[in-house]
């Protein structure tokens, strides 16, 4: 494959491919002839090395003052050969040569493959144009690539003589940079939409998981928040199961850090996690990252359902972000979020000043059913507090959560010390959601990571049944 300028002789082939690739949105031959004749636009063709008349693809860019990619088309028989990437690189080079400092383009909102190619080149989403592509009425994502810092950034008035104050002796300081403020545990669709289309888009993590189901990745590929990365709870948010540690033990710090970097997390970017279960599985990612020292991580209230209900678009296909460089701490150390082990959970349940919450369904707490663990019932002294009761019927947080937890004995007071609180569930996943909810209420709660799957596998641990 080689590149050369697109010529009027190529337009017969371009017209045939336009109809196949772009359907009703195709350009006319007259439009292309006008584009090729325009002095402020550059068009490139990708052709076979052996036969330069065989068109593999074409692309165009508008130069000063627009700096916008006008089109990129790749012949169906040339897919997966890097033709689109080569054409895009040629357009970026043309803009650089012309002195452009940024480049824009629009991509169909559901075209995950094209969006991924642009992200690989350094583009990031900055805006959404509703019903931009006609007559289909599809939304367009506007993406931007910065090419160079502004030539005038930090420069004073033109022609003015720079006058600097006399230098003062500098006192060395070893004061550490203060950490960023902790992000709210939950954020709504409006806040996430605003962040996604900002110059500093967050890392979006799609944590679709449910007990007994394995179709999370397939659901993700069919449609996810723009730019979101799929997170596999079983392999990336948990270590291998064992009777001694439970069904979802905490991953090692090295494993979690490797995954977080693969997801694109850096110290400078916020993180938003979501799922299609009201945040009850995404909370596992929230808890692990917060416990490992990531302060700017939040759960999307209402999850995927809320995003779609708000009329926001979904992107298809897999997202492969640029690797991040985040450094994580041991989430089990308790330096950022508290943890308790089996002995700590037992002591808290037996204490008059503590509350141990069981976040499983009520029938599992009472011992009426037990679908996965070896014994039915609950940790003696625990209080039933099903995670699902944190949510409304449509998956949003309830408005009366403070009253709910006060009724369970969990109260945060301004002047009196609050009771110590810990939460467990079946394997430490959905309990993380209750920890996040309590954090949103200003109540610090510990997580028992091994939870009932660890407790019930230990024959020396007593199991109670019936209501609390």
Could you list the active site residues? Answer: 425
Q: What's the N-to-C CA distance of the chain in angstroms?
A: 72
Which of 290, 314, 333 terminates a domain? The answer is 333
Same domain, 83 and 192: no
By CB neighbour count within 10 A (0-12 exposed, 13-18 middle, 19+ buried), where does 251 fall?
A: buried
DSSP states of 301-320 as a string? TTHHHHHHHTT---B-S---
Domains in the chain, number: 3
Domain extent, residue 223, equals 186-333
Residue 283's pLDDT band (boundaries 50, 70, 90)?
very high
Q: Does residue 164 form part of some domain? A: no
Same domain, yes or no, for 322 and 384?
no
- Statement to judge: residues 6 and 129 lie in one domain: yes
329 and 346 share one domain: no
With CA atoms as reference, report the closest residue to 427 among 377, 364, 346, 360.
Answer: 360
Question: Per residue in 343-381, pLDDT tens?
Answer: 999 999 999 889 999 999 999 999 999 999 999 999 999
pLDDT band at 412 (very low <50, low <70, confident <90, very high): low
CA dihedral (61, 62, 63, 69) in degrees, to 10, reads -50
Residues 314 and 357 in one domain: no
CB 109 within 8 A of CB 179: no
210 and 328 share one domain: yes
86 and 54 in a common domain: yes
Do 109 and 307 form a contact (C-beta atoms < 8 A)? no
The number of beta carbons lying within 10 Å of the beta carbon of residue 420 is 19
Which residues are bridge partners to 57 per DSSP?
46, 74
Residue 160 lies in a domain: no
- Asked whether residue 195 falls in the same domain as residue 288, the answer is yes
Chain segment 172-197, per-residue pLDDT in tens:
455 667 888 999 999 999 999 989 88
Model pLDDT for residues 209-264, shown as the tens digit of each residue: 877 676 789 999 999 998 899 999 999 999 999 999 999 999 999 999 999 999 99
């Amino acid at each position: 494959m080689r590149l050369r300028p697109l010529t009027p002789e190529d337009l017969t082939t371009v017209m045939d491919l336009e109809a196949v690739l772009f359907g009703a949105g195709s350009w006319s031959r007259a439009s292309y002839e006008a584009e090729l004749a325009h002095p402020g636009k550059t068009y490139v063709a990708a052709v076979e090395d052996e036969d330069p008349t065989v068109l593999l693809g074409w692309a165009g860019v508008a130069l000063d003052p627009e700096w916008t990619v006008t089109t990129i088309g790749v012949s169906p028989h040339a897919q997966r050969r890097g033709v689109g990437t080569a054409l895009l690189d040629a357009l970026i080079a043309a803009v650089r040569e012309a002195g452009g400092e940024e480049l824009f383009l629009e991509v169909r909102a559901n075209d995950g493959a094209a969006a991924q190619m642009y992200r690989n080149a350094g583009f990031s989403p900055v805006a959404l144009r509703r019903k931009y592509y006609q007559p289909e009425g599809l939304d367009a994502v506007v993406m931007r690539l910065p090419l160079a810092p502004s030539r005038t950034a930090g420069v004073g008035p033109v022609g003015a003589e720079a006058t600097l104050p006399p230098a003062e002796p500098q006192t060395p300081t070893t004061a550490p940079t203060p950490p960023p403020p902790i992000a709210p545990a939950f954020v709504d669709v409006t806040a996430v939409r605003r962040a996604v289309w900002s110059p500093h888009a967050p890392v979006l993590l799609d944590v679709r998981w449910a007990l007994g189901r394995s179709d999370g990745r397939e659901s993700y590929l069919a449609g996810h928040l723009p730019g979101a990365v799929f997170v596999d709870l079983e392999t990336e948010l948990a270590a291998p199961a064992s009777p001694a540690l439970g069904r979802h033990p905490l991953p090692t710090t090295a494993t979690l850090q490797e995954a977080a970097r693969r997801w694109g997390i850096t110290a400078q970017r916020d993180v938003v996690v979501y799922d299609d279960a009201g945040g009850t599985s995404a909370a596992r990612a929230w808890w692990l990252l917060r416990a490992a020292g990531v302060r700017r991580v939040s759960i999307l209230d209402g999850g995927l359902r809320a995003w779609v209900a708000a009329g926001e678009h979904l992107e298809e296909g897999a997202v492969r972000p640029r690797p991040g460089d985040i450094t994580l701490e041991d989430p089990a150390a308790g330096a950022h979020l508290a943890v308790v082990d089996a002995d700590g959970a037992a002591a808290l349940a037996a204490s008059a000043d503590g509350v141990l919450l069981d976040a499983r369904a009520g029938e599992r707490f009472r011992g009426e059913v037990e679908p996965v663990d070896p014994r039915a019932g609950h940790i003696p002294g625990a209080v039933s507090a099903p995670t699902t009761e944190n949510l409304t019927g449509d998956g949003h947080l309830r408005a009366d959560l403070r009253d709910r937890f006060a009724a369970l004995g969990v109260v945060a007071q301004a002047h009196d010390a609050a009771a110590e609180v810990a939460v467990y569930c079946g394997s430490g996943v959905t309990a993380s959601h209750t920890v996040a909810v309590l954090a949103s209420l200003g109540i610090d709660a510990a997580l028992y990571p091994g939870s009932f799957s660890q407790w019930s596998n230990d024959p020396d641990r007593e199991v109670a049944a019936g209501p609390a």
